[in-house]
Amino acid sequence: MRIHVTLAAAAAATVLLASSAHAQTRGGTKQSGTTRTAESQSSGGKSLEFGLDGSVGFAMNGPSTTTVQLPISQLRVAFQRTANWSIEPMLRLNYEGTDGQSGNELFFGVGALYHLSQDRSQKQWYARPYVAIDHQSVTFDVAGNSQTQSSNRLGFGAGFGIKVPLLSRVGTRYEVTLSHFGKSDVVDASTNLGFLAGFSFYTR
């Protein structure tokens, strides 16, 4: 089991929370989620959804592996295209180091969120197909010489989850996801079951 703590992402969460709270109280007024959502839809406004997720993942083939990434696994931002559809890039960066060896992972993907309902002031079920690139690099010492092995794998997956409103511009998000990544020269193909839980912050 591996546990990752991303301090930079935690700092980003603090900034987003502060920005969301400021936006809600700007001008000394507060609006209900229903009112704000209705105004956004009637004016044709499109919101950005910034998000931070923690994750638990299970490898479904090969060696049994459980990966826990807390408190934050990935950063995401969704660009609303229509009342039901959003395009969402996501990014994850991990680093591990021990004596004589280090490894890093850069994960970048793009998903398409389809919301089964349009009212953000209520619970929203959604589906999220996505494609992603997983880059892994390991550096190790052999007889005093540093060597590096790298791999790049293309993968695809799909998630199904629910968004739960907390405030007019803040909500939680829970998702189960299934993904598959192909084989590279140094990393085998993998199929993974994952669970995500995080916060979302909206600009409108």
| pLDDT score at 87 | 98
pLDDT for res 122: 96
Domains, the chain, in order of start with CATH, read 2-202 (2.40.160.20)
Single-letter amino acid, residue 14: T
Q: Is-contact 17 27, C-beta < 8 A?
A: no
Instruction: At 34, list the tokens.
Output: 């229903």
pLDDT at site 185: 84
End-to-end CA distance of the chain: 39
**Residue range 130-157, pLDDT digits in tens:** 999 999 998 888 777 888 889 999 999 9
CA distance 139 to 154: 22
Give the Å distances, CA to CA, from 81 to 14, 43, 182: 27, 14, 30
Q: Whole-model pTM?
A: 0.78
